[in-house]
Amino acid sequence: MSAVHEAIGQRQRVPKTPEAPKAAKAPSAPMGLRRLLRPGCWPLLALPPSLIAYVLAIGACDLALTGWELADTPPRAADLLLFGALLAAAVICIEAMRRLGPPADVSRDLLSAWWLPIALLLPPLYALLAPFVVGAVLYLRGRRIPVYRRVFSSAALGLAGAATSATFHLAVPGAAAAGQAEAARAWLTRPPVVVTAVACAVVFAVVNSAAVAVAARLAEPGASVRTMLWDRERLLLGLTETCVGILVAVACALSYLLLLVALPPVILLQRSLMHQQLAAAARTDAKTGLLNAAAWQRQADAEVARAQRAGTPLALLLVDVDHFKRVNDRHGHLIGDEVLRALATELRQQVRESDVVGRFGGEEFTVLLPRTDDVGACRIAERLRASAARLSVPLAGPAAPVSVTVSIGVAALGPHGRDLFELLAAADVALYRAKDAGRDQVRVPGRATGHDQAAHDQAAHEQAARHREDAATDACP
């Protein structure tokens, strides 16, 4: 939740004014109107003005186009029957998934398997209407999200469906007539029909993604739209949705009864997709999006074992936010969460794709660096420290943004430990020495730490051992 949302919540908790005398009932309507117009009552008003204008523009375009199509599209019994059958199939899928109890952060689905047949086989009007009908069902029966988000999503899908439908009807008009034998034969005997349907599915994906990308850019100007919208898993999901949607369209063109055959495989695919998302959610820290401690340790153990077998270097960074408790005490835990998210994003952007980044707990992060020696790890740690110092989390109103620094402990496989546990212990010692040295520092254990040093410590006096431990922590070269 952003600082804007926290400010909205604070405004909603403003103490109520004393009740006016009975004789002064006339001003109650303006007071009620002013209360209704507060941003806290309308989450849309808490967004940046440019994003508000964009969301309203998309909704207005969809509404205007729907009105145009309503006046221009005569109702046909075959169209209404197919539209109702596909909507019923979509609702059954939603209900089947709802009964499985998906968590709030699992949002990917296969509803495009029903949008595409509506767009390909029916006039554009139905492609404009379908997302709002299904969106209403999702809002009532699924997770409650702000109404403006549901309306924007439905409008974007409607515009994408209308563009797809218009393109397909212009390209192959004979194959886009629901309930006609000639249209059914065209899907089976004319390969260009299927090729055009695939191209129109690409149009659907591009238009919808473009609408969402603009909104994402306006909401978070500094975020990478490519990362948010285009990754390997989203592309694979889009390809699956396209294939399933075209198969459902072919089945509907042949006979509406074939929907009964297509529905169980779609539900099964949806369940499989949900399983993958649940597995990913179990590995991910919900607050930062990084690996959680258990998942990071499993992956780090595998990387350490691989480095030991291959004889390649490997290093570990232990990153801790300086004076993080002060941030929570001064600005609240919501702002503290925003700081952690911003820092997690910066860590992920500053390291390689093959590096293993996780949240170890509280304000501590861990970064495993395969094929990196201690000198290279120190350079990376210094870069991370400098980039973290430049981060700032804006606050609501004129208050100055929140900035933090980090301290980093570095340990390398071999010089500082022989397995993951020893690396973590060595990096932890180095981290605390960075804290003692004034914070906002990078430290690496000296060569004397490790198995040999532990043997000396066992034979030496306790005070001398503590002295050697202090002397065995050096600044990065």
More reliable by pLDDT, 369 or 458: 369
Determine the pLDDT at residue 411: 93
Digit-coded pLDDT (tens) for 142-152: 666 788 888 99
Determine the pLDDT at residue 255: 80
Digit-coded pLDDT (tens) for 397-450: 667 788 899 999 999 998 888 899 999 999 999 998 999 888 899 998 864 333
Determine the pLDDT at residue 454: 42
Residue 4 has pLDDT above 90, yes or no: no
In contact, 409 and 439? CB cutoff 8 Å: no
Determine the pLDDT at residue 191: 79
Determine the pLDDT at residue 225: 58
More reliable by pLDDT, 396 or 122: 122
pLDDT, the chain, mean: 78
> Does residue 255 come out as left (phi exceeding 0), alpha (psi in the -120 to 50 range) or beta?
beta
Q: Per mean pLDDT, which range of 94-103, 271-280, 461-470 is the poorest?
A: 461-470
Determine the pLDDT at residue 108: 59
Digit-coded pLDDT (tens) for 169-182: 888 876 655 555 56
| Neighbouring residues of 363: CB distance < 8 A, sequence distance ≥ 6 | 320, 321, 324, 340
Highest-confidence range of 12-21, 277-286, 446-455, 456-465, by mean pLDDT? 277-286
What topology does CATH give the domain 293-475? Answer: Alpha-Beta Plaits (3.30.70)
Determine the pLDDT at residue 245: 86
- The pLDDT of 218-229, averaged and rounded, is 66
Looking at the chain, which residues constitute the CATH 3.30.70.270 domain(s)? 293-475
Q: How are beta strands 442-445 and 356-361 bridged, if at all?
A: unpaired
Digit-coded pLDDT (tens) for 264-291: 888 888 777 776 666 766 788 888 888 8
Q: Which band of pLDDT confidence, cut at 50, 70 and 90, is reported for residue 57?
A: very high
Q: Which residues of 238-277 are buried (b: 16+ CB within 10 A; e: fewer)?
A: bebbbebbbbbbbbbbeebeebeebbeebbebbeebbeeb
Provide the 3-class DSSP secondary structure of residue 452: helix
Return d(Cα 294, Cα 280) in angstroms, integer: 13
| % of the chain residues with pLDDT over 70 | 74
Beta bridge partner(s), residue 407: 320
CA-angle at 139, arms to 244 and 145, nearest 5°: 105
For residue 88, give the amino acid letter. A
- The pLDDT of 42-56, averaged and rounded, is 83
Q: DSSP strand E in 312-383: where?
A: 314-321, 356-361, 364-370
Q: DSSP strand E in 192-345: where?
A: 314-321
